[in-house]
Structure 1
């Protein structure tokens, strides 16, 4: 089946899969968003335990989606993996550290006689939710703004700045993208708590978070969207591979792919509908349309980055070193073999759905957490 597809179609197929997995990961970052709301929503130890345990039943699913995303990226587009992870490694090491301390926190927060005390591990969770998500957003922002790298004829890359990726935090768009992702995570978390927690005080405070932070998200979202639609991007000649700067490249991509533009608009509407349903109509199910919406928005952003002859990772040091889905992918043989493996993705996603349902059969309350000998 897959061996009959041409090389470019295989590359586009894998970019779509990576975009979908990346979008699912962004949805699952409600776990990190919830961690930053721990002290906002939980005013006593019992409420904080309830919040941590509601998130603790989901945090491993975030890791599952992250591992799938990273593994697919490594298999399908190894040059990007080597260029970004091997060049901008200060940023990625900081992200890795944030996720390591998250795992440690869930493991040891409630262990008797733990070395640092419960409060320290709660700070670990907060750091993971704040810095971890903002840094991931900044890293994703560089797909639009570019990185300081050079790729030679042997497909060996090296970074041209001694800051090795940390210079990305000096770009306002990247930072705005990171904070937008941060507030998306917090809004999704608030809706998740409304759906899954049986505590009137926590649910009331979660609705207050939606009331005020939706406006912050909207300001960031409008800015990021306007910046993307007006910024210059890098296109390339699919025959020669020559890269050139194109005014309004991403707007051109939306116009050239109206289905993708429709997905973006539909996703934005669904995300806002989920918020408004929980906030103004007394719903408890806003997390579902909002979750689908954010997946569609992020997926459409990945598609305008990689499709329509676009360099999805521009090089600021040498534009001709910019990465495209054609010059950074694995071999045709690799893509064909991995395409058969990709048929397992629906089963993995099905596993996530089954586990989600098994862990969220009813609303959690403080008594349930106190009676659970294995609580976080």
Structure 2
């Protein structure tokens, strides 16, 4: 079946898969967002334990999706992987180290003989939530703003900055998406807490914190999107593969791909609906609108970054070194083999959905934790 597809069709197929995994990863970042709110929502040790145990039920989903996203990117577009990880070294290493802190914290926070105390691991969780969301947003923003690299004819990467990725923090457009993703993750975390935890005091604080996090997210995301629509983009000449700067490229991508435009508008509507229902109607189901909306918004951004003759990983110092899905992909054989493996994705998604429903069948409460029925983090 897949072997009959052209190399370009397989490349496009795998960019869609990467987009879907990226959307799922950002949605699951509600775990990281929730971790940054532990001391603002939980005012006692018992309340903080409830919050951490609510997140502890889901943190492995985020971690697994991150690994899957990275592995799929490496296998399908290895030139991007080698260029970005080999060049923006410190940005990626700090991001990955933050996720190591998360795994250690959930494992050891409540373990007997913990000599560092629970607060130390709660601080680690905050660091993971802050750096994990912010740096991921900054790195994704470079799909539109570019990075300082060039490639030799043998595809050896030269990174034109001694900061090895930290220079990406000096771009305001990158920062706007990084901070927006931080506040989005916190907003999703609040909506998840509202849906999962049965505690009147925590619910009151969630309502208050939603105002402080949802509004900054909306302002920053709107700033990023408006800037994106008006900036020049990295276009590809389909006849010879030459990269050139095209005015309003990403706005044109939305207009010329109406399905993606519809997805993006639906995404924005869902995000606003979930936030509005929780703030104005005190609904506990807001996560089921804002979550899918987040997923669709990220998928849309990935699609306009890589489709419609666009360089998805542009070089800000050498236009012709910019990476397209055609230039950066694996061979036809590799993509074909991987495509058969990808047929397992719906089954994995169904398993995650079933597991999620089973875990969240009953809201977490002080009584449940004190009874010893739940796994204790």
Q: Shorter-chain-normalised TM-score: which range?
A: over 0.9
1:215, 1:52 → 2: CA distance? 25
Structure 1 window deviating more from structure 2 (238-247 vs 87-96): it is: 238-247
- Does the C-alpha gap of structure 1 residues 291 and 374 become closer, same or farther in structure 2, counting only changes over 3 Å? closer
Preserved CA contact (<8 Å) 2:184 2:213: no
The residue aligned with 2:92 is 92
What is the Cα deviation at residue 86 of structure 1? 1.2
The residue aligned with 2:340 is 340
The residue aligned with 1:254 is 254
1:181, 1:107 → 2: CA distance? 26
Counterpart secondary structure, 1:245: strand
What do you get for the CA RMSD once the two structures are aligned? 1.0
The residue aligned with 1:11 is 11
1:226, 1:165 → 2: CA distance? 25
Structure 1 window deviating more from structure 2 (168-177 vs 277-286): it is: 277-286
1:110, 1:253 → 2: CA distance? 50
1:264, 1:358 → 2: CA distance? 31
The residue aligned with 1:165 is 165
The residue aligned with 2:39 is 39
The residue aligned with 1:25 is 25
2:212, 2:375 → 1: CA distance? 35
Counterpart secondary structure, 1:352: helix
The residue aligned with 2:114 is 114
Preserved CA contact (<8 Å) 2:275 2:286: yes
What is the Cα deviation at residue 282 of structure 1? 2.7
Counterpart secondary structure, 1:239: coil
What is the Cα deviation at residue 238 of structure 1? 2.4
The residue aligned with 1:135 is 135
Instruction: Determine if the alignment matches structure 1 residue 271 to structure 2 residue 257.
Output: no
The residue aligned with 1:182 is 182
2:239, 2:79 → 1: CA distance? 20
Counterpart secondary structure, 1:326: helix
Counterpart secondary structure, 2:326: coil
Preserved CA contact (<8 Å) 2:232 2:246: yes
Preserved CA contact (<8 Å) 2:18 2:73: yes
Instruction: Determine if the alignment matches structure 1 residue 65 to structure 2 residue 60.
Output: no
Could you list the per-position Cα deviations for residues 263-284 of structure 1 after superposition, in whole angstroms to 9, with x for gaps in the alignment? 1111011011011111112321
With the length of structure 2 as denominator, give the TM-score of the two structures. 0.98
Preserved CA contact (<8 Å) 2:63 2:99: no
With the length of structure 1 as denominator, give the TM-score of the two structures. 0.98
What is the Cα deviation at residue 212 of structure 1? 2.9
The residue aligned with 2:315 is 315
Preserved CA contact (<8 Å) 2:149 2:318: yes
The residue aligned with 1:328 is 328
Specify every segment of 5 or more residues in structure 2 that has no aligned partner in the other structure, as ranges: none
1:85, 1:220 → 2: CA distance? 27
What is the Cα deviation at residue 351 of structure 1? 1.6
Instruction: Determine if the alignment matches structure 1 residue 365 to structure 2 residue 358.
Output: no
Specify every segment of 5 or more residues in structure 1 that has no aligned partner in the other structure, as ranges: none
What is the Cα deviation at residue 69 of structure 1? 0.8
Moved over 6 A (4+): none
Counterpart secondary structure, 1:150: strand
The residue aligned with 2:376 is 375
Count of aligned residue pairs for this structure pair: 376
